[in-house]
Chains A and B, each alone.
Chain A
């Protein structure tokens, strides 16, 4: 390997490390927001708003770790789609159980339905449109 190639390789490694460091800083920032909601003044906010915000941050953090640290963004997109499909199923299943067992506040039924099915619905639409159809022929 030539000196120039070595230098380029070294630069790409440094660049990659910086991507990881920046991701960790973003994750730390989101975690700080999450912990901030624990303070009493914020904790008095409407429960549906708190749960929705925390759930959103949770999903974003989940995808950041999976996408960058577990390099899902560099892998074949079918893996991202498989993970999203799993999340679409896990979200309503988990939260229906949480509502049934009384782990979450007893909200208005419309908010409950929106909370349960809107996020997986949006993700489901994205999945549906992201699959590229063939020419309709059988191979």
Chain B
């Protein structure tokens, strides 16, 4: 879903609809924050139930894969918020659309990586 909101932010900026672009930017950052919050909850729950980073091979693979992904999402949220702040200061208009386009590509890349991680780590029968 956040891939959709980020492209809508880009297209809104392209047509110089700054207000909508800000709304979609914030929505994307919020969806990312919900994802990271879910990860924090999940990591805490697993740790309390005895699955740590060094417990077994699965624990190491799980925390490394999903942890690195969480870090990338957090970096993406920082990028998005910096764009939002620039927009609020009037420094993000359709003339600077390329900046948001590049951040959008980063966000989509993080998204496609999650598509693979989600299937392999969470859904494949073990």
The answer on a CB contact under 8 Å between A17 and B115 is no
Given A16-B11, A65-B111, A105 contacting B125 (CB threshold 8 A): yes
Tell me if B66 counts as interface (CB < 8 A to partner A): no
Tell me if B1 counts as interface (CB < 8 A to partner A): yes
Interface residues on B, range: 20 to 34
In the assembled complex, the Cα of A20 lies from the Cα of B14 at a distance in Å of: 15
In the assembled complex, the Cα of A54 lies from the Cα of B1 at a distance in Å of: 20
A-chain residues with CB within 8 Å of residue B14 when the two chains form the complex: 13
Name the residue of chain B whose CB is nearest to the CB of A13.
B15
Mark B91-126 against chain A: 1 for CB-CB distance below 8 A, else 0: 000000000000011001101100110111001111
Mark B78-95 against chain A: 1 for CB-CB distance below 8 A, else 0: 000000000000000000
Decide if the interface of chain A is mainly helix, strand, loop or mixed.
Answer: helix
B-chain residues with CB within 8 Å of residue A27 when the two chains form the complex: 3
In the assembled complex, the Cα of A103 lies from the Cα of B115 at a distance in Å of: 18
The answer on a CB contact under 8 Å between A51 and B115 is no
In the assembled complex, the Cα of A23 lies from the Cα of B111 at a distance in Å of: 14
The answer on a CB contact under 8 Å between A55 and B8 is no
25 chain-A/chain-B pairs, Cβ below 8 angstroms: A10-B15, A13-B15, A17-B8, A24-B1, A34-B119, A38-B123, A43-B125, A47-B125, A50-B124, A51-B124, A54-B123, A54-B124, A57-B119, A58-B115, A58-B119, A61-B115, A65-B3, A65-B108, A65-B112, A66-B112, A69-B4, A69-B108, A70-B108, A70-B109, A105-B125
